[in-house]
A = this chain, B = another copy of it.
Amino acid sequence: MTIKEVLEHPEKVSFDVDRLGECAVDSPITGGRFVEDGDRTLFVHDADAVAEAMRAGRPVPSFEKAGPRRKIFFDPAWCRAAVVTCGGLCPGLNDVIKGVVQTLWFDYGVRHIFGIRYGLEGLIPSYRHEPVILTPEVVDEIDTIGGTILGSSRGGQPTDQIVRRLADMNINLLFCIGGDGTLRAARDIAAEVKKRGLAIAVVGIPKTIDNDLAFVGRSFGFETAVYATTDVITCAHMEAKGAWHGIGLVKLQGRDSGFIAAYASIANSCVNLCLVPEEPFTLEGEHGVLTALERRFGLGKSHAVIVVAEGAGQDLMAGEERRDASGNILKKDIGTFLKSAIEEHFKAKGEPITVKYFDPSYSIRSVAAHGADAIHCLMLAKNAVHAAMAGRTSCVVGKCADVYMHVPIALATIERQKIDPDGTLWQAVKDVTRQSEYMGYEPLVKG
Q: Chain A: residues with CB nearer than 8 A to chain B?
A: 30-33, 39-42, 44, 47-48, 50-51, 54-55, 60, 62, 67, 89, 98, 102-103, 105-107, 109, 117-118, 121, 127, 129, 135-137, 141, 143-148, 151-153, 223-224, 226-227, 230-232, 234-239, 241-244, 246, 263, 266-270, 302, 356, 358-360, 362-363, 366-367, 370-372, 374-375, 378-379, 382, 400-401, 403-404, 422-424, 427-428, 430-432, 434, 436, 441-442, 445, 447
CB-CB < 8 A to A403: which residues of B? Answer: 47-48
* Chain B residue at smallest Cβ distance from A103: B431
- Cβ–Cβ contact A372 & B267, under 8 A: yes
Given A103-B431, A105-B447, A382-B428, do A374 and B31 touch, yes or no (CB 8 Å)?
no
CB-CB < 8 A to A359: which residues of B? Answer: 359
- Cβ–Cβ contact A51 & B60, under 8 A: yes
- Cβ–Cβ contact A232 & B442, under 8 A: no
Given A42-B47, A106-B447, A244-B121, do A227 and B370 touch, yes or no (CB 8 Å)?
yes
- Cβ–Cβ contact B147 & A238, under 8 A: yes
The contact of A39 among B32, B48, B237, by CB within 8 Å, is B48
CB-CB < 8 A to A33: which residues of B? Answer: 422-424, 427
* Chain B residue at smallest Cβ distance from A101: B447
* Chain B residue at smallest Cβ distance from A434: B106
- With A152-B242, A231-B363 known, 17 other A-B pairs at CB within 8 A are A31-B441, A40-B48, A42-B48, A47-B400, A102-B431, A107-B431, A146-B234, A151-B243, A153-B243, A223-B371, A223-B372, A227-B372, A235-B363, A242-B366, A267-B371, A356-B362, A359-B359
Provide the bound-state CA to CA distance between A107 and B443, in Å.
11
CB-CB < 8 A to A423: which residues of B? Answer: 33
- Cβ–Cβ contact B379 & A428, under 8 A: yes
Provide the bound-state CA to CA distance between A370 and B269, in Å.
11
For residue A26, give the distance in angstroms from its CB to the closest CB of chain B.
16
Provide the bound-state CA to CA distance between A32 and B236, in Å.
29
CB-CB < 8 A to A135: which residues of B? Answer: 447
For residue A357, give the distance in angstroms from its CB to the closest CB of chain B.
8
- Cβ–Cβ contact A375 & B242, under 8 A: no
- Cβ–Cβ contact B375 & A266, under 8 A: yes
For residue A398, give the distance in angstroms from its CB to the closest CB of chain B.
13
Provide the bound-state CA to CA distance between A83 and B146, in Å.
30
* Chain B residue at smallest Cβ distance from A117: B244
- Cβ–Cβ contact B378 & A428, under 8 A: yes
